Amino acid sequence: MLNSRRIVVTLATLAAVVAVPATASAKPAHTSAAAGVQAHVTKAKKAIKTMKSAAKADKDAIVIAQLRSARSQLAAASRESRKMATGSKTVAAAQSLVLAGNSYDQLLGTVTSLVDDVSGLAQTRLAQAVNPTLAGQQQIVRVLTGLVDDVPASVQPILGSIAASMSMSASNDVVTMNAAVKSGALPVNISTLLTQSIGIATSAIGTSLSTMTSLLPMLPAAVQAPLAQILGTVTQAGAPSSLAPNVLNTITGLINTVLGSLPVVGGTAGAGGATSILGGLLGNVTGGGAGVLPGNLGSTLSGLLGGLLGGGTGATGSVPVVGGILSTVTGLINGLLGGLLGGLAP
């Protein structure tokens, strides 16, 4: 079963990106290019769905064929979206890149969840597909990050957050792969492949954490403190590769929960607004940072930050109330990280 995905931030923030007017250099061809990306992604999703059904029915030949089809379609989607980015670099390019990147994330989650459910050649092909899938997604992340300087300043942190969140989405897959390796039930060659993939994915997450550090000055002051605390604690703990997969997963969950509280991220668009412009391109990708946090911490944290950023200053609008909310937020984060990392939280 596909793990809870961490792309809720990209889904919500993309609306804000799409709302930015296209540049005068935008060409009608971008519309057809975006439609081409959508067509490839639709075929890839169909192949992924069939692959999952085939795995449950022990139809290894179909698993292999559908895996090949999904990878081929996503490679085509990636090429077209990256080509758009080298042209006029419009919002349409960013939209297509996120669409393709999210689909790579879906394939990665499916592959890692199925690799210990099949055997023989199908298992080998799935394990071998993890690294190329990670590489394909990271290629898109790099191009998306490169667009940050080419959009209005108000949109830069939004687009940057999308890229960072997409990089961190692999933390769920690291947990899944680590559990499969630790089970001892996998053949040695499969275990070796997955161990290598865990290292590659963890390295990518480390890069995304560095990206988040550079984004902090662009973000609202209220979320700078919680994010700085999380990132600072990770720095004290050492490289991401030194953290247990479940700890790393919780840390990225905290970051996405904080990002998801931003008004521009959590806001909704009415009929005919940005949500309608998306036209359902991103399908039913669900998930979010709060989903991996223990107890009701995720919803509590989101509620506090949402209130703070959306006018949670109390009836009087007094600053002390804001300070109290922020202190509670950082206290929650400190308590969780302190327990996870042996009291390293500041």
- Domain annotation covers residue 1: no
Question: pTM score > 0.95 for this model?
Answer: no
- Domain annotation covers residue 129: yes
H or E, element range at 41: helix 29-56
Residue range(s) defining the domain that contains residue 308: 8-20+32-272+280-340
- Domain annotation covers residue 222: yes
Report pLDDT digits (tens) over 45-85.
999 999 999 999 999 999 999 999 999 999 999 999 999 98
Is 289's pLDDT higher than 70? no
Q: How many domains does the chain have?
A: 1
Report pLDDT digits (tens) over 207-265.
888 888 888 887 777 788 888 888 888 888 777 778 888 888 888 888 888 877 766 54
Is 28's pLDDT higher than 90? no
Mean pLDDT calculated for residue range 273-300: 49
Cβ atoms within 10 Å of 238's Cβ, excluding its own: 11
β-pair partners for 287: 5
pLDDT score, position 112 = 96
- Spatial CB neighbours of 328, under 8 Å, sequence gap ≥ 6: 304
The chain-wide mean pLDDT, for the chain, equals 77
Highest mean pLDDT pick, 57-71, 158-172, 313-327: 57-71
In angstroms, rounded to a whole number, what is the distance separating the alpha carbons of residues 23 and 230?
37
- Domain annotation covers residue 185: yes
Pick from 107, 114, 223: nearest CA to 177: 114
- Domain annotation covers residue 2: no
pLDDT score, position 178 = 95
- Domain annotation covers residue 346: no
